């Protein structure tokens, strides 16, 4: 079973040389810490910055330089700032290569829900709807089950959708899963997690073909 | 040069009244028109519709107008980090229209650019698209979204001159440039008012033609919402 | 009868304090020379400049600083450069207050033709179609008749249109005319030009009410 | 930082072939991708569709490609000042689509921004709107215009860095920024290639994400089309 950093570490392996990447709030943010040093990647944040660096040292923070999670950040040489319309031109225009974001539910059809719990939580979709509607390459980072132990990989989402048929890959604390036409295709198991345990924790149709390797992190 | 400079926030906000629709720049608490918001609280006008990516926090930004119940409707993309907002929304006191962030930006830009509506894939197949026209282009589905109509746009820039030219700083830029010229009257507040001719014409983010009034904000708190630091080795 | 500079002089009186103005090629360009000194006006050129100044002195010309007529220009303090999309945001978004342009024909309905003579002249519309489709305030600057002596103020344009029902005012070498619902309303005569001569030179419906004053230039 | 720098125009233009659609920045002869055009002439590829506001003059800019009959179709807003162009067009050798200048800019921007189509009032009621969908919004008529699809965009900037960030100069900016990222591959040529980190992140006109290849142009003539001077008193 992976922790949040473990999920981030596994996802980091999906990041390829030359990728522009948008990281959502939460686990996705951690991915930046684990990307290989020998490849070139640029991080975009939809509030208007490309080429984000690490968080600032104390005393170097600037209220005018933040990421979409409203955290203070720094920029690397070659970075740029731009307005919101241009930022979403990058996203909608498919210039961003990879989007990594969290989810409350994912359906076997690739639908995703992550912005609203009716009558309860109404934070809003932020840039997530734009990201999932346009990105060709979307990875969801989340726990396999919710706090009540219920599967978050469903036949059909029960919460209001963020996007339809858009998720391609899911990395959870238990497994790496690809969304294919027939459902959730199990690609890898987390260390120490059995196929049976993943099956139990997955409500949607799980496709198991051949031997499922353990993740190599 | 056409002079857009006014002396203070009082002059800048002349004409705002109950029931108006405002656009307000900023992302989180970064790049928000602090002085305009503070004066709107003082003026006490209400029944406002506010178009702004976020709704501030409980004790800063648009949260100040929410506390005084001056806002009737919010059009935003993300409204977390604000308990009073959530209370008013769930109780039905506050009308809330949540829309995708890119749609918000583009509906502002459409108003600025004289375009009546735009097509975006964001929100297709979700409740955001309910009741809206959808259309296929090249095998992909898009939602028709209309340009905003607003009475005032309040934006905050870093530097400006009396011609109304604006330069923004860092990620405090965000929605501010897209809202300039997107309302009947655009009011820009700046941290620094520089002499005419000192801004490089090549490096102006928003030409003065999009701005009707400009003033130097009396004070800027520039609060940080999520101070996040790295440990020194 | 006015010459080109006379037409420009008369149009300059229509330019008000605080106006952003777009000047077309030809006679309109001359208007800048005659605007009163005591009002503030900014000239926009659709190729991407606001705050144009006079032509440069010899040796001060810059290939990277031109107007829409491709002439070398200078800029005044407070000027700005921008891209074509933003330039037409200014125009389409009605931020430009007054558009002055030339025409080959104007119809009594406010239609304008100025970009094409089928089978003969095909320069293109440039920014004219955007300007006439959006501007609330359009003044046409032209000769009253063409080189063959035929009226350019018609019942209906014979050439391909640039815009429909958009022209509000016309200043020619003979007259100042307002386009109203019923047709061409004669407002002023050029010095030494009779109402009868204007009537002769106007094919479209000319409305003559009361005494028509001579222009005061 | 993702490195977009290539060594010369040969590398930058790899992959161009007969029958492709190109976008080319510039207004008149100002801000045109001189080096890319010269190399297209050398390569001799033909049957090209070129999207460019103008068509150059007889002996410079796109006029060079016209002289060699490499262009099959031009999509432009204004094509005066070019006798060879007019000859080929009137004789029917050259297919020409003339569209309003603002429509040209916005169809580029739509492609850059992932929007399939836009509504503009320009051209309504004229032959430009013939066969196109029109629609009323708020009592005004608009024409639906589609985003361009192009194989390569050739743009010219003043300064750039290896990350592909661009800064344009004066009115040489024009269509160049709107074409970046609007084609499958965007090739930027610059007058000055500056070291990474020397451009102010706040003053970059086009972030490198919109550019696939960048090179320093070997030579710039920067011809003036209409030299117009004022007399010294």
Q: Which residues of B touch D (CB under 8 A)?
A: 106, 113-121, 137-138, 140, 142, 146, 167-170, 201-203
Phi, psi (5° rounding) for residue A32? -55, -30
Nearest to C80 among B2, B115, B207 (CB): B207
| pLDDT over 90 at D81, yes or no | no
> What is the per-residue pLDDT for D83?
85
D118 and B116 within 8 Å at the Cβ level: the answer is no
> What is the per-residue pLDDT for C110?
97
B163 and C78 within 8 Å at the Cβ level: the answer is yes
In a domain, C214, yes or no: no
Of residues B112, B91, B87, B83, the one with CA closest to residue B23? B112
Residues of A classed as catalytic: 46
C78 and B1 within 8 Å at the Cβ level: the answer is yes
Q: Which residues of C touch B204 (CB under 8 A)?
A: 80-82
Three-state secondary structure string covering A145-158: ECCCCCECEECCCC
Spatial separation of the C-alpha atoms in residues B224 and A66, rounded to whole Å: 9
Spatial separation of the C-alpha atoms in residues D165 and A49, rounded to whole Å: 13
Q: Is D58 exposed, middle or buried (0-12, 13-18, 19+ CB in 10 A)?
A: middle
> What is the per-residue pLDDT for B232?
86
B138 and D116 within 8 Å at the Cβ level: the answer is yes
**Chain A within 8 Å of B172 (Cβ-Cβ)?**
yes
D neighbours by CB contacts (3+ pairs under 8 Å): A, B, C
Q: Is D138 left (phi over 0), alpha (psi -120 to 50) or beta?
A: left
Q: Can you give the length of chain B in residues? A: 233
Q: Which of helix, strand or coil describes residue A131?
A: helix
Q: Which residues of D touch A86 (CB under 8 A)?
A: 207
Residues C186, C194 contacting (CB under 8 angstroms): no
CA torsion sign, D162 to D164 to D168 to D174?
Answer: positive
Spatial separation of the C-alpha atoms in residues B225 and C15, rounded to whole Å: 48
DSSP class per residue in chain C: ---HHHHHHHHHTT--TTEEEEE-SSHHHHHGGGS-TTS-EEEEETTTEEEE-SPPBTT---TT-B-TTSBB--EEEEEEE--HHHHHHHHHTT-S-EEEE--SEEETTS-EE-S-BTTTB----TTHHHHHHH-SSEEEE--SB-TTS-BSEESS--SPPSBSS---EEE-SSEEEEEETTEEEEEEEPTT--HHHHHHT--S-EE--SPPPBP--
C85 and D124 within 8 Å at the Cβ level: the answer is no
Q: Which residues of C touch B3 (CB under 8 A)?
A: 40
A78 and D163 within 8 Å at the Cβ level: the answer is yes
A134 and D204 within 8 Å at the Cβ level: the answer is no
| pLDDT over 90 at A119, yes or no | no
> What is the per-residue pLDDT for C217?
81
Nearest to B203 among D121, D140, D203 (CB): D203
Q: Which of C14, C40, C42, C46 is catalytic?
A: C46
B232 and A57 within 8 Å at the Cβ level: the answer is yes
Which residues sit opposite A66 in a β-bridge? Answer: A72
> What is the per-residue pLDDT for D86?
85
B1 and C51 within 8 Å at the Cβ level: the answer is yes
> What is the per-residue pLDDT for B81?
76
Of residues D109, D210, B100, the one with CA closest to residue A130? B100
Q: Which of helix, strand or coil describes residue D109?
A: helix
C90 and B209 within 8 Å at the Cβ level: the answer is yes
Please state, as a whole number, how many other Cβ atoms lie within 10 Å of the Cβ of residue B151: 17
Residues of chain C with pLDDT under 50: none
Instruction: Specify the long-range contacts of residues D5-8, CB closer than 8 Å, at least 24 apart.
Output: D5/D162, D5/D193, D5/D213, D5/D214, D5/D215, D6/D213, D6/D214, D6/D215, D7/D215, D8/D215, D8/D218
Mean pLDDT to the nearest integer, A183-189? 98
**Chain C within 8 Å of D96 (Cβ-Cβ)?**
yes
The answer to whether C and A touch (≥3 CB pairs < 8 Å) is no
**Best mutation target, B52, B57, B101, B231, to test chain A (most A CBs within 10 A):** B101
Three-state secondary structure string covering C28-91: HHHHHHHCCCCCCEEEEECCCEEEECCCCECCCCCCCCECCCCEECCEEEEEEECCHHHHHHHH
Residues D108, D178 contacting (CB under 8 angstroms): yes
Cβ partners under 8 Å of residue C172, min gap 6: C2, C7, C141, C142, C143, C144, C152, C153, C190
| Residue C61 bears catalytic tag | no
In a domain, C213, yes or no: no
pLDDT tens-place string over residues D166-198? 999 999 999 999 999 999 999 999 999 999 999
For residue D180, the chain C residue with the least C-alpha distance is: C83
| pLDDT over 90 at D125, yes or no | yes
Among the CATH numbers 3.40.630.10, 3.90.660.20, 3.40.1080.10, 3.90.480.20, which is that of B9-115+148-216? 3.40.1080.10
Spatial separation of the C-alpha atoms in residues D43 and D40, rounded to whole Å: 5
Spatial separation of the C-alpha atoms in residues D198 and A203, rounded to whole Å: 53
In a domain, A216, yes or no: no
CA torsion sign, B64 to B65 to B66 to B67?
Answer: positive
Residues B209, B165 contacting (CB under 8 angstroms): no
Q: Which residues of A touch B80 (CB under 8 A)?
A: 123-124
pLDDT tens-place string over residues D137-151? 999 999 999 999 999
- For chain C, how many structural domains are there in total? 1
**Chain A within 8 Å of D90 (Cβ-Cβ)?**
no
Phi, psi (5° rounding) for residue D193? -100, 115
Spatial separation of the C-alpha atoms in residues C18 and C36, rounded to whole Å: 12
Nearest to D30 among C64, C87, C115 (CB): C64
Spatial separation of the C-alpha atoms in residues D191 and D193, rounded to whole Å: 7
Residues B80, A117 contacting (CB under 8 angstroms): no
Of residues B104, B113, C113, the one with CA closest to residue D119? B113
pLDDT tens-place string over residues B202-224? 999 999 999 999 999 999 999 99
CA torsion sign, D22 to D27 to D31 to D36?
Answer: positive
Could you tell me whether strands A175-180 and A183-189 are parallel, antiparallel, or unpaired per DSSP bridges? antiparallel
Spatial separation of the C-alpha atoms in residues B96 and B66, rounded to whole Å: 12
B226 and A71 within 8 Å at the Cβ level: the answer is yes
**Best mutation target, D102, D155, D207, to test chain C (most C CBs within 10 A):** D102
The CATH number of residue A72's host domain is 3.40.1080.10
DSSP class per residue in A91-107: HHTT-S-EEEE--SEEE
Spatial separation of the C-alpha atoms in residues D209 and D207, rounded to whole Å: 6
Residues D159, A74 contacting (CB under 8 angstroms): no
> What dihedral angle (degrees, nearest 10) is formed by the CA atoms of C197, C203, C204, C207?
20
> What is the per-residue pLDDT for B95?
96
**Chain A within 8 Å of D111 (Cβ-Cβ)?**
yes
B208 and C89 within 8 Å at the Cβ level: the answer is no
Nearest to B170 among A65, A92, A127 (CB): A65
Work out the minimum CA distance from C120 to partner chain D, whole angstroms. 7
Q: Which residues of C touch B162 (CB under 8 A)?
A: 78
ipTM for the assembly: 0.97
Residues D81, D57 contacting (CB under 8 angstroms): yes
Of residues B145, A80, B175, A92, the one with CA closest to residue D182? A92
> What is the per-residue pLDDT for D90?
85
For residue B201, the chain C residue with the least C-alpha distance is: C80
Residues of chain B with pLDDT under 70: none
In a domain, A214, yes or no: no
pLDDT tens-place string over residues D88-117? 988 899 999 999 999 999 999 999 999 999
Edge-to-edge strand list for the sheet holding A105-107:
A112-113, A105-107, A153-154
Work out the minimum CA distance from C84 to partner chain D, whole angstroms. 5
Three-state secondary structure string covering chain B: CCCCECCCHHHHCCCCCCCCEEEECCECCECCCHHHHHHHHHHCCCCEEEECCCCCECCECCHHHHHCCCEEEEEECCCCCCHHHHHHHHHCCCEEEECCHHHHHHHHHHHHHCCCEEEECCCCCCHHHCCCCEEEECCEEEEEEECCCEEEEEEEEEEECCCCCEECCHHHCCCHHHHCCCEEEEEEEEEEECCCCCCCHHHCCECHHHCCEEEECCCCCCCCCECCCECCC
**Chain A within 8 Å of B52 (Cβ-Cβ)?**
no
Nearest to D119 among B117, B168, B170 (CB): B117
DSSP class per residue in A2-62: --HHHHHHHHHTT--TTEEEEE-SSHHHHHGGGS-TTS-EEEEETTTEEEE-SPPBTT---
Please give the residue range of the domain that contains residue A51: 4-207
Secondary structure element (H or E) that encloses residue D24, with its range: strand D21-24
Of residues C111, A134, A123, the one with CA closest to residue B119? A134
Domains of chain D by residue range? 9-115+148-216
Spatial separation of the C-alpha atoms in residues C111 and C155, rounded to whole Å: 10
For residue D166, the chain A residue with the least C-alpha distance is: A80
Of residues B10, B38, B3, the one with CA closest to residue B24? B38
Arithmetic mean of pLDDT over chain D: 96
- Tell me the CA distances in angstroms from B52 to A40, B61, B186, D152, D217, one per residue in order: 35, 11, 14, 37, 43
Phi, psi (5° rounding) for residue B90? -70, -30
Nearest to C92 among B115, B196, B208 (CB): B115
Nearest to A76 among D1, D112, D115 (CB): D1
């Amino acid at each position: 079973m992976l922790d949040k950093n473990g999920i981030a570490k596994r996802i980091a392996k999906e990041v390829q040389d030359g990728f522009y990447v948008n990281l959502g709030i939460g686990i996705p943010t951690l991915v930046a810490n684990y990307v290989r040093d020998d490849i070139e990647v640029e991080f975009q944040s939809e509030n208007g910055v490309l080429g984000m660096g690490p968080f600032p040292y104390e005393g170097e923070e600037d209220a005018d330089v933040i990421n979409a999670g409203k955290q203070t950040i720094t920029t690397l040489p070659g970075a740029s700032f731009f307005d919101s319309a241009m930022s979403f031109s990058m996203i909608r225009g498919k210039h961003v290569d990879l989007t990594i974001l969290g989810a409350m539910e994912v359906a076997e059809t690739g639908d995703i829900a992550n912005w609203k719990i009716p009558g309860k939580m109404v934070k809003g979709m932020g840039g997530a709807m734009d990201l999932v509607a346009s990105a060709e390459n979307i990875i969801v980072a989340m726990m396999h089950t919710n706090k009540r132990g219920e599967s978050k990989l469903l036949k059909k989402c029960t919460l209001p959708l963020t996007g339809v048929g858009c998720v391609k890959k899911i990395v959870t604390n238990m497994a790496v899963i690809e969304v294919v036409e027939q459902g959730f295709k199990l690609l890898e198991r987390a260390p120490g997690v059995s196929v049976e345990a993943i099956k139990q924790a997955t409500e949607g149709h799980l496709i198991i073909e051949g031997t499922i390797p353990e993740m190599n992190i | 040069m056409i002079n857009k400079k006014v002396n203070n926030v009082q002059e800048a906000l002349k004409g705002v009244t109950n029931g108006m629709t405002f656009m307000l720049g900023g992302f989180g608490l970064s790049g928000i028109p602090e002085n305009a918001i503070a004066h709107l609280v003082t003026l006490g006008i209400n029944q406002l519709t506010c178009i702004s990516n976020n709704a501030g926090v409980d004790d800063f930004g648009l949260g100040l107008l929410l506390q005084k119940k001056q806002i009737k409707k919010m059009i935003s993309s993300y409204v977390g980090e604000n308990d009073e907002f959530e209370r008013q929304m769930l109780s039905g006191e506050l009308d809330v229209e949540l829309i995708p962030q890119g749609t918000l930006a583009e509906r502002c830009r459409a108003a600025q650019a004289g375009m009546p509506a735009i097509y975006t894939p964001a929100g297709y197949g979700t409740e955001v698209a309910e009741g809206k026209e959808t259309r296929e282009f090249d095998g992909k589905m898009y939602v028709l979204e209309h340009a905003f109509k607003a009475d005032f746009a309040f934006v905050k820039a870093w530097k400006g001159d009396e011609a109304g030219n604006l330069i923004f700083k860092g990620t405090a830029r965000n929605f501010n440039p897209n809202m300039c010229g997107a309302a009947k009257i655009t009011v820009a507040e700046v941290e620094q008012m520089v002499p005419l001719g000192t801004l490089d014409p090549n490096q102006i983010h928003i030409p003065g033609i999009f701005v009707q009034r400009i003033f130097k904000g009396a004070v800027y708190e520039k609060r940080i919402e999520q101070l996040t630091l790295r440990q020194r080795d």
